[in-house]
Amino acid sequence: MISLKDYLAGGETTISNLLLQNYTKLGLNTNEFMLWLQLYAAHQAGEDFPDLTLIARNMGSTTEKTYDLLNNLVEKDFVALETALDEQGRQSDRYDLLPAFEKLAMLKEQERFEVEEKNDLAAQKKMLRSLEQEFGRPLSPIEYQKIGYWLNEDHYAPALIELALQEAVLNQAYNFKYIETVLQSWEKKNIRSKAQVEEEQRRRKQILLQKEEQNQSEELPKVSLYNWLERKDSDA
């Protein structure tokens, strides 16, 4: 049984689960990834240019096969061989493992972009259905062109266009001109999200309520403050 002292002396290798879960998506097979892990473990132990003969032994493989795997990692841009000068001016070689993390970052960014693109496409379809339902007819080619301009040139979010449509419906203005006027008005106020639209609507409602209260107070009839009872008592 291994002792605690030996266990701790062996050190530990910490690696993100993202890399463990996605190395095949990045284009590595299991043997290539295992070699990369061996290099990474050596790097964490402070050895940037480990002996591949020892690594081959750890992997239960031959030195020749291990060098072939290393060439694969270099060709696939997961490892870079670098030569640098130390403080004494001597050359030293090292394996740069950062490219693997850069590839992982690019993969996750691409996946995030694909999810956003998919969600945006679904939002666009929902917005188009809303327009056709409220207008009670299919949209014309010119209207589709106008929507494309809003999305691609003005960069209005589909949800924002839907909110502008709701404004148009509330005002019984079933036309694209009114929707565009609303969008442009919001753009001037730097309104780009549903939360900002709702805040603007609350602000406008508050202003209308204040004006209504002011008008009601101005319309109240003036009442004389003369005390007729007191006048009657004095006459008596």
Query: How many residues in total does the chain contain?
Result: 236
pLDDT in tens, 124-176: 999 999 999 999 999 999 999 999 999 999 989 999 999 999 999 989 998 99
Nearest one of 11, 192, 155, 23 to 97, comparing CA atoms: 23
| In the block, residue with structure tokens 């060439």 | 71
pLDDT in tens, 83-131: 877 777 788 899 999 999 999 999 999 999 899 889 899 999 999 999 9
> What pLDDT does residue 9 have?
62
Separation between Cα atoms, residue 82 and residue 77, nearest integer Å? 13
pLDDT in tens, 181-214: 999 999 998 888 888 888 888 887 888 888 777 7
Domains belonging to the chain, first-starting first, are 4-96 (1.10.10.10), 122-215 (1.10.10.630)
Q: The tokens of 87 are what?
A: 């403080």
Half-sphere CA count of 49, side-chain side, radius 13 A:
9
Separation between Cα atoms, residue 130 and residue 109, nearest integer Å? 31
> What pLDDT does residue 14 have?
86
The DSSP code sequence of 42-54 is: HHHTT-SS--HHH
